[in-house]
Amino acid sequence: MVENNLSPASITSNLGTNFIGQRVIYYPSLTSTMEVAKQEAQLGAVDGTVVIAGEQTAGRGRIKRVWLSPKGSIALSIILYPSVVNLPSLIMLASLAVVHSIEAVTGLRSQIKWPNDILINGRKVCGILIESSVRGNTVDYAIIGIGVNVNLRLSDFPEILSTATSLSAELGRDVSRLRVIRQLLAEVERLYLALQAGGPIYEEWRDSLVTLGRRVQVKSGTTVYEGIAESVTRDGSLLLRHSNGKLSQIVAGDATLRA
Ligand code: BTN
């Protein structure tokens, strides 16, 4: 078993960031890091505050789904105060940060499925949830929630067995959650600063999507779209070309890659 001391000191010590992860709030067990992060943000938590849970008992996924995060997984939320212009890019930079961090720590290559599922060999290894409070042109706060299946034995979770994977399942050995978390926080900060400096986050995200050029089915609310994923816009929407030539712009949804 790899060491798994997730104390705030073990995370922040020599992290090398300026603000992300300089304050860490850790709970061995928590309902959802999103809930605590929201409370902290409403109280004016310092930029880059991170809430981490050893396990979540009521983890939240996109589209009001449940997110499983038992012991051995990573569940964290990062509080940021971006400009309204940069808000749509958080999803992009978070996805890129996960892909870069997984590769740096494990050597595993992962891919991004629109909008923000991280896959290894076609199975989901990480989910990302962005929640924000916006009034007019003012962002009160934004929270990036990241859940990574690190040391999970998938056979213990039949409900996700056919669609999910974990870093340990891919590697055949356990992985240090601490190393992944530290890499992730450093990478989120690097990309966030690059975004603020006008760096090509959108372009890198677009070019990393496994979805583009593929036939996909997208569920968005009660509507199901089918077509070729042609491109993505700067605000993160998917442009889907139908067989009749029409183009749909889909702001949010769940994409399934077709053969
Ligand atoms: C998804 O793919 O549906 C998004 C999953 C996001 C899960 C993370 S785990 C940390 C944070 N806390 C939560 O309750 N959800 C996010």
Place of tokens 């999507």: 209
- Say if 1 falls within a structural domain: no
* Position 186 pLDDT exceeds 80: yes
Residue 226 and residue 188 share a domain:
no
What are the backbone dihedrals phi and psi of residue 134, each rounded to the nearest 5 degrees, phi first? -125, 130
Which residue from 155, 167, 145 is spatially nearest to 72, judged by alpha carbons? 167
Any idea what the CATH number is for the domain that residue 228 is in?
Answer: 2.30.30.100
Residues 32, 58 contacting (CB under 8 angstroms):
yes
Judged by average pLDDT, the poorest of 1-10, 11-20, 40-49, 129-138 is: 1-10
Measure 129 CA to ligand 1 centroid, in angstroms. 5
**Which of 173, 190, 207 is the last residue in one of the domains?**
207
Residue 174 and residue 156 share a domain:
yes
- Provide the strand spans (E) within the chain: 24-30, 50-56, 74-80, 111-113, 117-120, 123-135, 138-148, 215-220, 223-232, 238-241, 247-250, 254-257
Residue 122 and residue 83 share a domain:
yes
Which pLDDT score is estimated for 63?
85
Ligand 1 pocket: which of 35, 38, 50, 67 to mutate (most atoms within 8 A of CB)? 67
What is the number of domains present in the chain?
2
For residue range 59-115, list pLDDT tens digits in order: 999 988 999 999 999 999 999 999 999 999 999 999 999 999 999 999 999 999 999
Distance CA 11, CA 19 (A): 13
- Say if 93 falls within a structural domain: yes
* Position 2 pLDDT exceeds 60: no
The residue range of the domain holding 180 is: 8-207
Q: Is the CB of residue 56 below 6 angstroms from any atom belonging to ligand 1?
A: yes
Place of tokens 């995200």: 205
> Mean of the per-residue pLDDT values for the chain?
95
Ligand 1 pocket: which of 69, 118, 163 to mutate (most atoms within 8 A of CB)? 69
For residue range 128-152, list pLDDT tens digits in order: 999 999 999 999 999 999 999 999 9
Q: Is the CB of residue 21 below 6 angstroms from any atom belonging to ligand 1?
A: no
Residue 185 and residue 116 share a domain:
yes
Q: How far is CA 225 from CA 56, 238, 242, 250, in A?
A: 33, 11, 8, 9
- Say if 3 falls within a structural domain: no
Residue 135 and residue 232 share a domain:
no
* Position 239 pLDDT exceeds 80: yes
Which pLDDT score is estimated for 259?
77
Place of tokens 């890659």: 257
Q: Is the CB of residue 70 below 6 angstroms from any atom belonging to ligand 1?
A: no
Residue 108 and residue 163 share a domain:
yes
- Say if 80 falls within a structural domain: yes
H helical segments located in the chain: 8-12, 33-42, 89-106, 167-171, 177-196, 201-208
